[in-house]
């Protein structure tokens, strides 16, 4: 995720390993969500083809598509946390004095990590709660719908904690903090 100009020291080496690891996780997520988007587009093409050309509408498309959107949304959102691409109001934090700015960032990361953890826990409970009822027309557990929420939540926690770690090691990348 970053090249370190003044390399050296154990914690920094450790962080580099962590960065490399998380970057590969994010890359895997990108591949999964990218394939989901392309898949989504293709099955809709198939839907229209089925209805007009075959006169047999594939009834599974709607439900499969909804599942793919869950993957894109929650796994993609986790990557967004890693890359800092979510829309946030940073104006106030930029105006604050440096010490307060650090407080803002630390609290933000903690809140994000906490929210991710709740996503993980309650997503898992929701998944278990709905595991034995089936989604009509595609016959997979209803619980699958909230599985991406669970996984995305876990990833968000990891990514947010990594931001904190980076901050502690003085390697945070949010430009308005390092000034």
Partner 1 sequence: ENWRGWNIHVEGYPNTVAMDKFAELLEEKTDGGITLQMFHGGTLGSQPDAIEQVRLGGLEIGNFNLGPIGPIAPEANVVSLPFIFKDPAHMFRVMNGEGGEKIAAGMEAKGLVPLAWYDSGARSFYNGAKPINSPEDVAGMKVRVMNNDLYSGMISQLGGNPSPMAFAEVYQSLKTGVVDGAENNWPSYESTGHFEVAGYYSLSEHLIIPECVCINADVYNGLDEAQQTALKEAAMESAELQRELWAEREAKSREMVEAAGVVTNEIANKLPFQEAMVPVYETYLEANPDLRPLVELIQSTE
Partner 2 sequence: MGLTVLLGLFALCVVLGVPVAFALGIAALAAFAYEGLPLMIGFQRIVSGINVFSLMAIPFFIFAGELMFHGGIAMRLVRFASAAVGAVRGGLGIVNVFSSMLFGGISGSAVADISALGSILVPVMKEKGYDADYAVNVTVTSSIAGIIIPPSHNMIIFAIAAGGGISISKLFLSGVVPGVLMCCCLAIAAYIVAVRRGYRAEKFPGWAALTMAFLGAIPGLLTAVIIVGGVLSGVFTVTESGAFGAIYAFLVTLLVYRSITWANFTTAVISSVRTTAMVMILIACAGAFAYMLTFYRVPDKTIDLMTGLTQNPIMILLMINLALLILGMIMDMAALILICTPIFLPVAVSQGVDPYQFGMILLVNLGLGLCTPPVGACLFVGCAVGKLPMEKAVRTIWPFYLAILVALMLITFVPAVSLTLPGLLGM
Partner interacting with residue 57 (select from partner 1, partner 2, none; CB below 5-8 Å by kind): partner 1
Residue 56 makes contact with partner 1 by CB under 8 A: yes
Orientation of helix 147-168 relative to helix 98-129, angle to 10°: 160
Under rule CB under 8 A, residue 104 binds partner 2: yes
The option from partner 1, partner 2, none interacting with 12 (CB < 5 to 8 A, set by class) reads: none
Structure tokens at 44: 């809709």
Instruction: Decide if residue 47 touches partner 2 (CB under 8 A).
Output: yes
Does residue 93 contact residue 104 with C-beta atoms inside 8 Å? yes
Rule CB under 8 A: say whether 155 interacts with partner 2. Answer: no
Nearer to partner 1 (CB atom), residue 60 or residue 104: 60
**Quick one: which of 2, 41, 57, 85 contacts partner 1 (CB under 8 A)?**
57
Nearer Cβ to partner 1, position 63 or 102? 63
| DSSP H helical ranges for the chain | 10-49, 61-83, 91-95, 98-129, 147-168
Sign of CA dihedral 109, 115, 117, 120: negative
Residue 122 C-beta-side C-alpha neighbours within 13 Å: 6
Residues 102-131 that bind partner 1 (CB under 8 A): 129-130
Contact residue for partner 2 among 20, 21, 28, 118 (CB under 8 A): 118
User: Residue 85 interacts with partner 1 (CB under 8 A)?
Assistant: no
Nearer to partner 2, 73 or 165 (CB): 73
Q: SS3 string of 27-39? A: HHHHHHHHHHHHH
- In the complex, the residues that contact partner 1 under the rule CB under 8 A are 51, 55-57, 59, 62-63, 129-130, 133-137, 142
């Amino acid at each position: 995720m970053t090249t370190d100009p003044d390399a050296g020291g154990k914690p920094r080496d450790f962080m580099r390993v962590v960065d490399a690891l998380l970057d590969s996780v994010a890359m895997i997520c990108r591949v999964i969500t990218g394939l989901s988007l392309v898949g989504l587009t293709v099955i809709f093409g198939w839907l229209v083809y089925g209805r007009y050309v075959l006169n047999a509408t594939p009834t599974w498309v709607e439900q499969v598509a909804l599942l793919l959107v869950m993957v894109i949304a929650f796994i993609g959102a986790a990557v967004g946390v890693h890359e800092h691409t979510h829309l946030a109001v940073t104006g106030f934090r930029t105006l604050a004095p440096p010490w307060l700015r650090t407080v803002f960032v630390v609290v933000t990361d903690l809140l994000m990590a906490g929210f991710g953890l709740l996503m993980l826990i309650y997503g898992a409970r929701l998944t278990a709660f709905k595991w034995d009822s089936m989604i009509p027309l595609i016959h997979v557990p209803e619980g699958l719908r909230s599985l991406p929420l669970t996984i995305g939540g876990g990833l968000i926690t990891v990514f947010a904690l990594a931001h904190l770690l980076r901050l502690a090691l003085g390697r945070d990348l949010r430009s308005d903090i390092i000034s």
